[in-house]
Amino acid sequence: MFPADRIRNVALVGHHGSGKTTLAEALLYRAGAVNRLGSVEAGTTVSDFEPEEHAHGMSVSLSLCSFEWRDHRVNIIDTPGYPDFAGEVSAALRVVDMAVFVVDAVNGVEVETEKQWRLAERLRVPRMIFVNKLDKEHASFERTLDALRDRFGAGIAPIELPLGEGETFHGVVDLFEDEAHVYDSGHSEPGDIPAEMKDRIAAVEEALVEGIVVADDDLLEQYLGGTVPPVDTLEHVMADGVADAAVFPVVCGSATGPIAVDRLADYLIELGTPPTARPSVPVLVGDDTIEIQSDPEGDPLVFVFKTVADPYVGQISMFRVLSGTIHPDITLYNGRTSSTERLAKVGVLQGKESVLVDALVAGALGATSKLSDTATGDVLTPRNMPVQVPPIDVPEPVIGVAVRATSLADEDRLSTGLRRLQEEDRSITVEHDDETGQTVMRGLGESHLNVSIEKLCRKMGIEVETEPEKVRFRETVTRSADAEGKHKKQSGGHGQFGVAMVKIEPLPRGAGFEFFDEIKGGSIPRQFIPAVEQGVIRAMAEGGLHGFPVTDIAIHLYDGKYHSVDSSELSFQMAGRAAFLEAFEAAGPTVLEPVSRVEVTVPPDLQGDVLGDLASRRGQVQGSMMDEVGNQVITALVPTAEVLTYATDLRSVSRGWGSVRISHDHYEEIPASLVGRVLAAHAREAANSSG
């Protein structure tokens, strides 16, 4: 058991393909936690162990591994870099004390790197940057460093320079120690700094000092006055600046080499923030907010940041110990569910393997299994201290697909599987649409949905089919019309008789339905009038001329006839239905389409491309404004049918830089020129469903 001040919790984050998983593997290898370097391509790494990760060649969920280094425990959370799995990054950044941004020296600062940086910035997570792949063709540390400064501003502080680049990369220069570390033999050995690097080193050292002194107002003032602080002062200020998320050290290397990975491990110990030095965690106890310190002697508090449904051992809950010390068989209380949970076994994860431990102290990351009533985001506490913490910031779903079991036997299992899928991935939502009859699963992109469905089938052993999400069209009328509805039937004994005379008229968009009782003189007895309204409502739900539900109309019941013996509620329901259908057909029926409110965030230089694309989708731009980081936020109203896959299309239009939020806004009349296309598509959907 490592004390809290000797624990480092680190998330590896960055754009897809930057080498995070390979870097995690290299760290484990250098520390002796594995005896060989695994390969992402071969599917042999510790942190990418899910079959879906092997099949797609990328991380699709966060994974936890750890190693010992210089009498410290370093917990690594390897995160996906593909935007569809951004929810995993959000969960990881909530429980780590440092984020190492892995940046590809060939491609530089890519879109997801910047998005994740902004998230870490909001969460005030200390950051370090590892410039990776310096042994690749076209790699450039200088170009990458310029991009980092351009995107992230003051505080970027390079503390290493590469010895060579591309095929000649073989080590690094430590700018604090002014010495070279050469890896020609595979391990670090001291070496001479090439004479031709002296001028370059001097220039970068100046940038290093500038990146550090921004964290200390007094030092900054002295520096601007011409005084350069001594090295020991700079190192001390850098450590404080890193902890305050004001200074961001930049180191470099190659995860595949592995070159300078051991130095990164050193920096995680020297510059990484221990749990005891991080700000206290605000928690809610009843109506009061209190601050929880990372104190091993405090009350035991466990925050569950990730759950995984395992087909063999059940639910695995990954957690951070916020306070106290956790032992196997400890019983804690879940305030959300008002239930007790026994942590029968407590362990640390090494990818898919769990290593059991005797205790975990405040600040540690661990895992347990088979908690019966605990989900991601829950806090386990002593019974007399139920607390809540702010929820994990989960991205909103932006795309949906309808799923259904291929057999009746699998329908119940599908519901269970979808629920477990949501427990594992909070960025997945599932809802059943009674109107369309579809069960719609929503996520962050097509890859997110495809991988989730693959997991669902593998873990639950069921087969599912998918189809596009149906659009909920409506029908209404454009003018007033009168009609008489009559229901008469005689078959021996009591017959059925009812006559209802109604007037239909249009209502404003969004008004729904109104019914007016204007019967005078008892032409319809009072007890039968609600039956007429029910008949109209049922007919509206069944659909108008084209089968879409009817809305935004008013029905005035102004006259009718009844029979003292043969009239009944059923008779007047049928009369109301008949009157509605005849009046509706005469009142200029039209089709309404749903319109969504779309908010697109995009860099200013891509605004024109996005506006053009929205216009091609019949979008009406409502306005544009600049956000706090200089992006343009465009608001538009766009027919829902045109944005079902917009999140995927936007990535292509914006080269990955755009993001979108979509919500229903209102209904409006569909252009006459498009009605035929809508009806044809609806007919095909109906034929496919019946087939």
* Residue 357 exposed, middle or buried by CB count within 10 Å (0-12, 13-18, 19+): middle
Question: Is the same domain home to 142 and 217?
Answer: yes
Question: Is the same domain home to 642 and 661?
Answer: yes
What CATH number does the domain containing 613 carry? 3.30.70.240
pLDDT at 686: 62
286 Cβ neighbours under 8 A, 6+ residues apart? none
pLDDT at 290: 80
CA distances in angstroms from 667 to 27, 595, 615, 640, listed in the order given: 55, 6, 19, 10
- Rounded CA-CA distance 7/275 in Å is 7
User: Does 210 have pLDDT greater than 90?
Assistant: no
- Rounded CA-CA distance 589/509 in Å is 14
What CATH number does the domain containing 328 carry? 2.40.30.10
- Rounded CA-CA distance 429/124 in Å is 28
pLDDT in tens, 431-488: 999 888 899 999 999 999 999 999 999 988 889 999 999 999 999 999 999 999 999 9
pLDDT in tens, 42-75: 999 999 999 999 999 999 999 999 999 999 999 9
- Residue 42 included in any domain: yes
What CATH number does the domain containing 35 carry? 3.40.50.300
The DSSP line for 455-472 is HHHHHHT--EEEEPPPP-
Confidence of residue 493 (pLDDT cuts 50, 70, 90): low
- Residue 449 included in any domain: yes
Contact 580, 504 (CB under 8 A): yes
Show the tokens assigned to 103: 């940046």
Question: Is the same domain home to 636 and 676?
Answer: yes
Confidence of residue 690 (pLDDT cuts 50, 70, 90): low
Name the percent of the chain lying above pLDDT 70. Answer: 98
Contact 37, 237 (CB under 8 A): no
Rounded to 5 degrees, φ, ψ at 644 are -60, -35
Confidence of residue 685 (pLDDT cuts 50, 70, 90): low
Length of the chain: 691
- Residue 531 included in any domain: yes
Please choose, from the candidates 339, 431, 347, the residue with its C-alpha nearest in 3D space to the C-alpha of residue 386.
Answer: 339
Confidence of residue 192 (pLDDT cuts 50, 70, 90): confident
Which carries the bigger pLDDT value, residue 135 or residue 186?
Answer: 135
Show the tokens assigned to 574: 């049928």
Question: Is the same domain home to 422 and 543?
Answer: no
451 Cβ neighbours under 8 A, 6+ residues apart? 52, 56, 60, 84
Confidence of residue 491 (pLDDT cuts 50, 70, 90): low
Last residue within a domain, chosen from 415, 438, 467:
467
What CATH number does the domain containing 428 carry? 3.30.70.870
User: Does 673 have pLDDT greater than 90?
Assistant: no
**CA 140 from centroid of its chain's CA atoms:** 32
**What 3-state class would DSSP assign to 342?**
strand
- Residue 131 included in any domain: yes
Average pLDDT, the chain: 93
Last residue within a domain, chosen from 549, 568, 587:
587
Confidence of residue 681 (pLDDT cuts 50, 70, 90): confident
CB atoms within 10 A of CB 536: 28
- Residue 33 carries which DSSP code? S
For residues 179-185, give the mean pLDDT. 93
Q: Please state the pTM of the whole predicted model.
A: 0.90
pLDDT at 333: 95
Angle between helix 261-270 and helix 20-30 axes, rounded to 10 deg: 80
pLDDT at 689: 59
Question: Is the same domain home to 157 and 240?
Answer: yes
Question: Is the same domain home to 597 and 581?
Answer: no
pLDDT in tens, 571-605: 999 999 999 999 999 999 999 999 999 999 999 99
- Residue 199 included in any domain: yes
Give the amino acid at 518. Answer: E
Please choose, from the candidates 655, 30, 66, 55, the residue with its C-alpha nearest in 3D space to the C-alpha of residue 354.
Answer: 66
Sign of the CA dihedral running 664, 670, 671, 674: positive
CB atoms within 10 A of CB 604: 11
Rounded to 5 degrees, φ, ψ at 196 are -70, -10
Among 141-155, 274-288, 500-514, the minimum mean pLDDT is found in 274-288
CB atoms within 10 A of CB 345: 14
- Rounded CA-CA distance 634/650 in Å is 13
Question: Is the same domain home to 309 and 330?
Answer: yes
Please choose, from the candidates 159, 186, 151, 156, the residue with its C-alpha nearest in 3D space to the C-alpha of residue 171.
Answer: 186
Show the tokens assigned to 428: 């997945």
User: Does 25 have pLDDT greater than 60?
Assistant: yes
- Residue 387 included in any domain: no
Give the amino acid at 227. Answer: T
Question: Is the same domain home to 82 and 126?
Answer: yes
Angle between helix 198-213 and helix 141-152 axes, rounded to 10 deg: 20
Question: Is the same domain home to 526 and 609?
Answer: no
**What 3-state class would DSSP assign to 573?**
helix
Domain hosting residue 430, numbered range: 403-467
What CATH number does the domain containing 553 carry? 3.30.230.10
User: Does 84 have pLDDT greater than 80?
Assistant: yes
Last residue within a domain, chosen from 467, 490, 514:
467
- Rounded CA-CA distance 487/381 in Å is 66
Q: How many domains are contained in the chain?
A: 5
Show the tokens assigned to 401: 């697909």
- Residue 394 included in any domain: no
pLDDT at 177: 87
For residues 511-532, give the mean pLDDT. 95
CB atoms within 10 A of CB 401: 21
pLDDT in tens, 406-442: 988 888 899 999 998 998 999 999 999 988 889 999 9
Show the tokens assigned to 350: 């090494």
Show the tokens assigned to 471: 């659009």
**CA 378 from centroid of its chain's CA atoms:** 18
Question: Is the same domain home to 439 and 458?
Answer: yes
Give the amino acid at 15. Answer: H
- Rounded CA-CA distance 456/462 in Å is 8
- Rounded CA-CA distance 10/74 in Å is 7
CB atoms within 10 A of CB 490: 10
pLDDT in tens, 86-137: 999 999 999 999 999 999 999 999 999 999 999 999 999 999 999 999 999 9
Question: Is the same domain home to 154 and 253?
Answer: yes
- Residue 105 included in any domain: yes
For residues 213-238, give the mean pLDDT. 88
- Rounded CA-CA distance 538/223 in Å is 79
- Rounded CA-CA distance 192/263 in Å is 18
For residues 174-179, give the mean pLDDT. 90
Show the tokens assigned to 257: 């080499």
pLDDT at 646: 95
For residues 369-381, give the mean pLDDT. 93
Question: Is the same domain home to 635 and 669?
Answer: yes
First to last CA, the chain: 62
